[in-house]
Amino acid sequence: MESINIQKTKAILRSGGIYLAMGVAFIIMLLLYPTEGKFKYHYRKGAPWLYETLTTPIDFPILKTQQELMSEKQEAAANIVPYYTVTPFVVNDRIAELSKESSKYGLTRDVLSVLEGGLRKIYAKGVLPDREISYKTIFVQSGRTTKQEIESDLYTVSKAVKFLNSEVVANFPEMDADSLLSAIRVQELVEPNLNYDKKTTEILHKQAIDYISPTKGMMYAGQLLVTKGETVTADIEQLLDSYKTEYIRSLGYSGSIYALVLAHAVIVFALLVLIYLALYFSDIEILRHQNQFNFIMFICCLNFATPMLVRMINPNLLYLIPFAVTTLYMAAFVKNRVVIPIYLISMLPLMIIAENGIELFAINALSGVIALLSFTLYSRGWMQFVNSLFVFTGLTILHIGFSMLSNGTLVESDATIIFYLFLNALLTVAAYPFVFLFEKLFYMVSVSTLRDLSDTDNNLMRELQRKAPGTFQHSLQVANLAERAVSAIGGDVRLVRVGAMYHDIGKMLNPQAFIENQAPGINYYGGLTPQEGAAEIIKHVENGVTLAKKFHLPKEVIDYIASHHGHSVTGYFYNVYCNNGGDPNNTAPFTYNGTLPVTREEVVVMMADAVEAAARTLKDFSVKSISALVDDVLSHRLSSSQLSKAEISYREINITTMVFKRQLQDMYHARIVYPKRNQS
C-alpha cells in the first residue's frame, strides 16, 4: 500500500486539473494587473534620502497636498457668487407707463424726456430689489452675454428713485422735484429687472469647487529634487509624490509595455508557485482534492482582484476591504495550518500595487490572524460580532503605529481611514455567511455544516436514537474510536466524526434486523435462510445512502455510508451457509455491494466499525484479548483486499491499530467488584 500511495501521489501531482486551475488563475491575475510601472524609490517624511542625488528626468506638475486642496475648496465654498438674469422689456413697459401718467399730471415734454432718459440709464445698469448692498461681485446675464458686476454699482429701487430725483433737480432747479415724483408714484414706477437665479448659482458654486486645480506649479527636467542624505521634509515629500505620480502614469502608457507585462507575468507566476509549494509542504492532501485546490485558487484570485479593482476607484478604499474574512473562508474547509501561509502569500501583491502597501499588508496580516483565532471562541449568533471588535482594535492600533512612524504624531491620523477600518471589521463578520455559497459552488463541506451534523439533537440523529437506540450508541462509539485514530495520523477529525455517526443510519429502516436493537427473546432471523438473512443485513448500506440523500447529507458523508463495509462478506451468515453444506465459492449473496474506501478517514471508519462491533462479543477484556481482537479484525480487512484503493500507509495503519487498542482498553477496563454486606 505504501508504494500504491506514492504512485497515486505522483499521479495527482501530475494531474492536469491542478495545473489547469493554476493556469486560469494566472490569466485572471495577469489581466487584472495594472499596466503601470513600480516606482523604485522608497521614502517617508522625516527620514533621510538613502539614494543618490535625484534630479528630475522629466517635466511634471507639482501636486497640491490634500490639506491645500481642502483649504481651497473650503474657501471656494465660502465665496458664493450670486447669479442674476435680466428681465427684458421692463424699461419699455416703465416708459410706456410714464407716458400714460404724463398727461394726467401735466408733465411737459422736457420733463418727460428727462425722466425717460433717467429710466433708460437705470435699467441699462440694472435694478435690484431694496436690500442691503455689499461690495461683492455678482454675475449678470443679459441675453447670451454674462458679465461680472460689483453689487454696489447697481441700482436698488430706492437708489433709482434718488437718481431720478437728482436728474429732475439738475435740469429743472425751479421745480419741486419731490412733489412731482411723489405725484407720479415713482416708487411704483421703478421695478427691479434683475432676478436671482438660485439653480444656476448652485451649479456655478459646485463647479468652482470641483474645478480647483490639483497642481500648483511645475518642475522641469534637470531641476534638483533631493540630495543624498538630506532629510525628507514635507515640501520634498510633496515634490517626490508629484514625481512618483507622473512617473507611474507615464510609464503605464510608454513603449515598454511588453517588458512591463513580462515583469507582471513573472511576479504572478512566482506567486502561484509559492502557493503550490505552501500547499505541498503544509498539507499535500489538498493537492489530491481538486475541489479544495480550486477553492484555494479562487481565494487567491479574490485577494488579488479586489484591491486591483478598488484602487482604481479610490486608493483609500483599500482600507475598507475585509481581507481577514478569507482566512475564515479557508478555515471552514481546510486545516488551520494551511490558512495563514496561503493568506499571507495571496496578499503579497498589496505590497507592490498599493502606495502604502507595506502598511496594508501588515494590518491585514494581523487582522487575519486575529480573526482566525477569535472565531474559534466566538462563532455562534451575535457573539460573532465580538470578533469585529478584536479585528478593529488590531487594525486601528497598527494603523496608528504606521501613522506615527510616518508623521511623528497622532494628530495626523485620518478619521476617514479609521472609519474604513471600522467597516472593514464589521464586514469581516458580515461577509462570513458567503461560506455556505462557496460550499455549494465548490462541492465541499464547511466546518459549520459538520458542526451542525455532529449535533446529536438534529432531526436525523434523533430519529436514529428513537428507532434504533443500540445502533445510535454503536455509532457514537465508532465516532469516538475513529476521531482519536484520525487525530493521531493527522487526518480530518471533523469530517471523520460525522461520517462515523451517520455510517449506519440505514439500520433504522429495519432496526430489529440488528442484534444491538433487538428486544430480549426476539429472534428476527428464525425461519430465514442464510441468504435471506444476509440480504437483510446487506441492504442497510443501500438504505443508508437513500436516507442520506433524502436528508440532503453532503456527498462526503454519504461516501462513509457507502464504504464502511466495502466489499466484505457477512461472516455470520456466510459461515452458517458453508457449515450447512453450501458452496464456499458462492460468496455473492453474502457480499456487500458498497464502495471500497479511498481516503484514510474512510479506512479508519471501516476499521473502527468492525473493531467496535467485534469488541461487543468479548467476554474477557484483558489487554491481551483486546490486542488480539484488534489485530485479527484489521488483518482480515487487509487480507480481503478491502484497502486496495485506499490512500493510507502501513505506518498510519499501525498508528490506528495502537489507538484502537488503547481506546478499547479505556472503554472496557476492569471494574471493582463490590462485596456483599453480611446480613446480621
For 396-436, the DSSP string reads HHHHHHHHHHHHSSSTT--HHHHHHHHHHHHHHHHTTTHHH
- In the numeric block, the cell 493556469 is attached to 23
Evaluate whether 340 touches 368 at the Cβ level (below 8 Å): yes
Sign of CA dihedral 213, 217, 221, 224: negative
- In the numeric block, the cell 441468504 is attached to 531
pLDDT on residue 212: 72
Mean local confidence (pLDDT), 460-469: 92
pLDDT on residue 174: 79
Q: How confident is the model at residue 2 (pLDDT cuts 50, 70, 90)?
A: very low
Residue 487 DSSP SS3: helix
- In the numeric block, the cell 487575519 is attached to 368
Give the pLDDT confidence of 308-323 residue by residue, as tens digits.
Answer: 888 888 888 999 999 9
Q: Count of alpha carbons within 13 Å of 417, Cβ hemisphere only?
A: 19
Q: How confident is the model at residue 679 (pLDDT cuts 50, 70, 90)?
A: low
* Domain ranges, ordered by start, for the chain: 2-37+264-441, 78-209, 455-667
Instruction: Report the percent of the chain where pLDDT is more than 90.
Output: 31
Q: What mean pLDDT value characterizes the chain? A: 84
Identity of the residue numbered 218: M
Give the pLDDT confidence of 404-423 residue by residue, as tens digits.
Answer: 776 555 545 578 889 999 99
With 60 as the cut, is the pLDDT of residue 486 above it? yes
Of residues 284 and 540, more confidence is placed in 540
With 90 as the cut, is the pLDDT of residue 271 above it? yes
Give the Cα separation of 373 and 45 in Å (integer). 35
Residue 388 DSSP SS3: helix
| Pairing status of strand 194-196 against strand 83-86 | antiparallel
In total, the chain counts a number of residues equal to 680
pLDDT on residue 549: 93
Q: Cell for 581?
A: 453444506
Our CA angle for 9, 15, 19, nearest 5°, is: 125
With 50 as the cut, is the pLDDT of residue 655 above it? yes
With 60 as the cut, is the pLDDT of residue 120 above it? yes
Cα–Cα separations (whole angstroms), residue 63 to 60, 139, 215, 235, 284: 9, 31, 4, 11, 51
Q: How far is CA 109 from the centre of its chain?
A: 86
Closest by Cα among 193, 162, 194 to 94: 193
Mean local confidence (pLDDT), 616-637: 84
Identity of the residue numbered 556: E
Evaluate whether 184 touches 176 at the Cβ level (below 8 Å): no
With 50 as the cut, is the pLDDT of residue 253 above it? no
Can you give the pTM of this predicted structure? 0.64
Give the pLDDT confidence of 498-518 residue by residue, as tens digits.
Answer: 999 999 999 999 998 888 888
Q: Count of alpha carbons within 13 Å of 680, Cβ hemisphere only?
A: 0
Q: What is the CATH number of domain 455-667?
A: 1.10.3210
With 90 as the cut, is the pLDDT of residue 680 above it? no
Evaluate whether 272 touches 24 at the Cβ level (below 8 Å): no
Cα–Cα separations (whole angstroms), residue 431 to 149, 290, 388, 437: 57, 25, 11, 11
Our CA angle for 151, 156, 157, nearest 5°, is: 170
Give the Cα separation of 630 and 637 in Å (integer). 11
With 60 as the cut, is the pLDDT of residue 5 above it? no
Identity of the residue numbered 266: V
Cα–Cα separations (whole angstroms), residue 495 to 118, 418, 499, 562, 607: 98, 40, 6, 15, 16
- Give the DSSP letter of residue 677: P
Q: Using H for helix, E for strand and C for coil, what is the string for 91-134?
A: HHHHHHHHHHHHHHCCCCHHHHHHHHHHHHHHHHHCEECCCCCC
Q: How confident is the model at residue 231 (pLDDT cuts 50, 70, 90)?
A: confident
Closest by Cα among 418, 528, 508, 425 to 468: 508
Residue 224 DSSP SS3: strand
- Give the DSSP letter of residue 315: G
With 70 as the cut, is the pLDDT of residue 255 above it? no
Give the Cα separation of 641 and 569 in Å (integer). 12
- Give the list of residues 6+ apart from residue 265 with CB closer than 8 angstroms, or none: 26, 30
Cα–Cα separations (whole angstroms), residue 651 to 9, 288, 600, 638, 662: 16, 20, 12, 14, 17
Give the Cα separation of 589 and 574 in Å (integer). 9
Q: Count of alpha carbons within 13 Å of 330, Cβ hemisphere only?
A: 31
Closest by Cα among 569, 582, 567 to 529: 582
